[in-house]
């Protein structure tokens, strides 16, 4: 089932998305959170830090598994996803860093690293809440449009559109890594609950295609229609195509 929560702007999206995380943490202190990087969850992380500071929530017993990491970047590289997570969440809440997990971008054998990460995710006994953003091309994690859905952690070549989109964070396009390790779609779908966050006009069309178009690996996020429990938190711009074509859904 998919529930759409419409918010005005990215700040309000952050608050309603933080409400979804808070509900999970309140019902299970040792919850397993699947986390995402990128701009979509930033406001949510800020709100979670505020709530943790205020003593409303705690990450003391929480375990996390992140979706993905660039191949070739060390955790100290300021564009690595490990660095992003420390900077945007882990360094500011009461989480034990030993309980946080990301694929290693520096593993000498990325395929072996995928198998290691599968075992890490399996050892958690199930993800209670998986946070996702959505790529302009419909990717989730770094599972790019394809002719098949991936299952476990996999090493991917990023598409030109994803490299273009991510080049905004690097000094030049040449410095954007071309490969990443990502949790697979089968793993994402196993989460008990999924929280998809989308902001801005650039996501409007792909969000409508994902939630109302054909379920196809050409639009990886469309698989979420088969997930048990999905909450979409999106701002007015990201929901603009849905509002025009399916007003009854909002
Ligand atoms: C990040 C991730 C990606 C992003 C997606 C959207 O961990 O897995 O799928 O969620 O590329 O990125 P933003 O949020 O920057 O628009």
Which atom of ligand 1 is found nearest the CA of 139?
9
Q: What is the pLDDT of residue 191?
A: 98
CA of 23 to the centre of ligand 1 (A): 23
> Which residues of the chain, if any, have pLDDT below 50?
none
Give the burial class of 43: count Cβ atoms within 10 A of its Cβ; 0-12 exposed, 13-18 middle, 19 or more buried: buried
Q: What is the pLDDT of residue 130?
A: 98
Rounded Cα gap, residues 220 and 184, in angstroms: 11
CA of 91 to the centre of ligand 1 (A): 21
Q: What is the pLDDT of residue 124?
A: 94
Q: What is the pLDDT of residue 244?
A: 98
Q: What is the pLDDT of residue 91?
A: 98
Q: What is the pLDDT of residue 53?
A: 98
CA of 250 to the centre of ligand 1 (A): 24
Pocket-forming residues, ligand 1, beta carbon under 6 Å: 36-40, 67-68, 133-135, 139-142
Q: What is the pLDDT of residue 179?
A: 97
Nearest CA to ligand 1 atom 11: 135
Residue whose tokens read 């793993």? 187
Which atom of ligand 1 is found nearest the CA of 66?
7
Rounded Cα gap, residues 132 and 139, in angstroms: 10
CA of 165 to the centre of ligand 1 (A): 10
Q: What is the pLDDT of residue 193?
A: 98
Model-level pTM? 0.97
Q: What is the pLDDT of residue 234?
A: 98
Q: What is the pLDDT of residue 235?
A: 98
Q: Which residues are catalytic?
A: 68, 137, 139, 144
Nearest CA to ligand 1 atom 2: 141
Closest-CA residue to 43 (of 66, 68, 13, 67)? 13
């Amino acid at each position: 089932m998919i529930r759409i929560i419409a918010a005005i702007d990215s700040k309000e999206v952050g608050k309603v998305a933080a409400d979804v995380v808070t509900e999970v943490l309140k019902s299970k202190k040792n919850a397993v959170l699947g986390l995402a990087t990128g701009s979509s969850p930033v406001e949510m992380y800020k709100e979670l830090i505020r709530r943790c500071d205020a003593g409303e929530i705690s990450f003391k017993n929480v375990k996390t598994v992140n979706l993905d990491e660039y191949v070739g970047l060390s955790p100290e590289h300021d564009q690595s996803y490990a660095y992003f997570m420390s900077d945007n969440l882990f360094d500011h809440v009461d989480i034990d860093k030993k309980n946080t997990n990301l694929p290693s971008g520096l593993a000498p054998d990325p395929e072996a690293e995928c198998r290691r990460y599968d075992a890490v995710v399996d050892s958690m006994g199930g993800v209670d809440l998986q946070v996702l953003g959505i790529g302009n091309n419909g990717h989730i994690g770094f599972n790019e449009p394809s002719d098949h859905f991936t299952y476990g952690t996999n090493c991917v070549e990023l598409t030109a559109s994803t490299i273009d989109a991510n080049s905004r964070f690097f000094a030049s396009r040449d410095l954007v890594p071309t490969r990443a390790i990502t949790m697979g779609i089968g793993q994402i779908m196993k989460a008990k609950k999924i929280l998809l966050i989308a902001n801005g006009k650039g996501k409007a069309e792909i969000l409508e295609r994902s939630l109302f178009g054909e379920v196809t690996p050409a639009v990886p996020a469309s698989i979420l229609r088969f997930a048990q429990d999905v909450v979409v938190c999106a701002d007015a711009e990201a929901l603009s195509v849905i509002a025009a074509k399916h007003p009854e859904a909002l």
